[in-house]
Every structure is written in structure tokens, then in C-alpha cells.
Copies of this chain bind each other. A is one copy, B any other.
Amino acid sequence: MDAERTAVAVRPVEELPGADGFAQWLARTQDSVREHVDAFVRARCAAELDPAGFALPGRLMVEFAAGGKCVRSVFVYLGWLAGGGGESEPALRAAAGAELLHAFALVQDDVMDQSPVRRGQPSAHLRLTNWHRDQGLSGSSTRFGESAAILLADLYLVWAERMLRESGLPAPALDRVWPRYDAMRSELAVGQLADLTNDANRQPTVGTVLDIARRKSGNYTVRRPLELGAAMAGCDEHVLRVLGDYGDVIGEAFQLRDDLLGIFGDPAATGKPAGDDIRERKATTVLALADQLATPPDRARLRELWRADSIDEHGVALAQSVITDSGARRRAEQMIDDRVEHARRLVADLEPSVGDALYRMALLCTQRAH
């Protein structure tokens, strides 16, 4: 089998002498991931979705699945390369399944958060709601849109696993992956459950918020994908530990950037309304920092704002200035820099081209505008 042969001949990311090489490699890897996802989802839609009698779900699933930045798939593949797997199409296909798992999480998340926008487009449940209304069907269009989106998310979850199982990786590689894969999926759901009970009114500490963020999205974005790929390749314990530590710090840094963008991000770049996390009163790391660092009067204003029935533009501006004045914004930026620097030291232990790629991925994940 191809995967078994390439697993012996290690040739990791050979085109990575510098930034240009990395950018080329990344673009090519992302393209391959998107092609694999596109082909897989089209095939499954053709085989399974037509009986539903309407074309929108299939179109939506194809468009959405390959519409992301492929961060998780790239990390799975880098884990595989760090583990000595060598460039391999089956491993790339297996890695690409992470996009479907992510699509599951996003579609379901948008229903739970009632988010109208995703990647600058109407979210899946909203498109399905509009379809129901346009067709003049009876019953609540909103309920229909949410229910249909939940079912499409189910399909993504099942297909994600199927794509991994049918990737062409040899059975021993898959056997090493399943326990980690199951644990990752449970962790994702349990992390979101914890997040639901993480009530902004109860003023959680920075530690609590970071802990939930780690389980909810940090682990699932960086650490678990890397470990999955490394386990696929049959990686040694030392490399696995380095990847785990790297994943921890960059997962946190990724989340800190997300939280900064949720408060200060440019809507044109993020595709979300300005101050989205403020409007939704999310208990993010940056808010917890502000609550900790602000002067007593500012802290009181912030807490009062968070108890209001709704937050308008004026409230968003107020929160932004209180958070900035408290030093929370600067502190969060510093925490990100510390973590990237920590990651840089960690990856020095890895094969140089893979270490370099991981360092550049750390920069990409933490210095982004969306």
C-alpha cells in the first residue's frame, strides 16, 4: 500500500527552506485538502442526499465543507510529517477529514448561537430557513432551518469519520488513530457543554476561561489534530510530547487572537459584526482579563453593561474602551507573543523543515485579521 511505502521513505516538507517555500507548500497542501474534501462530499451527496428531494442541502454541504482555511487538516498533516510519515496522499486524505469534522462543529454551533453569519455569508440554518420560506411551506421556517442544519451537521460528523476510515491508510495506522479520534470528538462536545454553563454574569476567572477555551477549541484546533497525525504515523513518545506542548500553547494563543478579534476585529476581515462577542456577552479570555485589571469604577461599568438586556453600538464602544484602558488588550497581545516564543523554542527539537513549518503556522494562527 502507498501509505505503507511512503511511511518508510521519510521526505518531510522538503520545499521548506524559508517563508516562500512554506507559503508554496501551504497553498499546495490547502488546495489538495480542498480537492479531497470536495470530491468526497460530492460523492456522498450523490449517493445519499438526492432522496431528500431538494438540492439546497447538497449544494450547501459541498460549498461549506471546502470553504475554510484548512487549519486543522494542515495540523493533522504536519503531525504526520513530524511523526516521520513522509508526504503521502492517503495521509493527506485522512487529514482532510478534519474539515468535515470542523464543518459539523460550525454548522451546529451557529444553530446553538443563532448566528446569522458565517464566513461573511448567511449561515447554513439561515439559508435553509430562507429556502423554507421561499417555498411557501407550512410551519415555522426558523424551526425548519435549524432542524435541517442540525441534520446536515450529523451528516458531516458521520462523513468525517468515513473519510478517515476510507482514506487508504493501512489498518494499523487507523487503529492507532481511533481512540484519539473518539476522545477528540467527545472533548469537543463536552467543552461546548462547559461553555454553555460558563456564565458571563458569574465573572469567571482568566484561568477558568482559558481552561474551557482549551477544551472547547484550542485542543481541537491545534493539539489534537497534531497528535492525530503523529499517531497515524506511529510517532515516538518524545516527538508526541513536543507536539502536545506546542499544541497547548498555540491553541491558547489561537483562542486569545479569536477573543481579541471578537472584540476589536474589523468586520470587513472577520465577516462578523464589530464587537460580536460583546453583543453576545461572551465570557472570553479578554473580558476576564479586563474584569481583573480594570479600575473598580470601570469594572462596575463593564459588569453593569453585561447585565443589560441588549447591547447597542454605544455599549460596544464603551466596552471596547474600558477593555483597552484596563490594559487587557495589551496583556492579551503579550500572552500571545509569549506563547509563540515558547512554541519557537519547542519546535527546535523537531526535524528542521517540520519545525520551521510549525513555527510559521504558529505565526499564521496568531497574527491573523480573521
Contact = CB atoms under 8 A, between A and B. Distances in A.
Which of A144, A154, A187, A197 has most B Cβ within 10 Å? A154
Interface string A139-163: 1000110111011101101110110
A51 B190 contact: yes
Contact of A186 (B48, B112, B190): B48
A277 to B, nearest CB: 14
Given A182-B162, A215-B51, A196 B112 contact: no
B112 A147 contact: yes
Contacts of A161: 161, 182
B155 A154 contact: no
Interface in A295-323: 307
A158 B185 contact: yes
B112 A193 contact: no
A279 interface: no
A112 B151 CA distance: 10
A250 B336 CA distance: 60
Contacts of A187: 48
Contact of A155 (B137, B150, B159, B186): B186
A193 B57 contact: yes
Contacts of A162: 182
A138 B189 contact: no
A9 interface: no
A200 interface: yes
Contacts of A165: 178, 182
A182 B137 CA distance: 31
A336 to B, nearest CB: 25
Given A48-B190, A112-B147, A148-B193, A199 B158 contact: no
A190 B157 contact: no
A55 to B, nearest CB: 12
A192 interface: yes
A114 B147 CA distance: 11
A201 interface: yes
Given A138-B199, A182-B158, A196-B144, A189 B51 contact: no
10 contacts: A49-B190, A52-B193, A52-B197, A53-B194, A57-B193, A112-B147, A150-B150, A152-B189, A155-B186, A171-B171
Closest 8 CB pairs of A and B: A112-B147, A154-B189, A138-B201, A52-B193, A48-B186, A158-B185, A151-B189, A162-B182
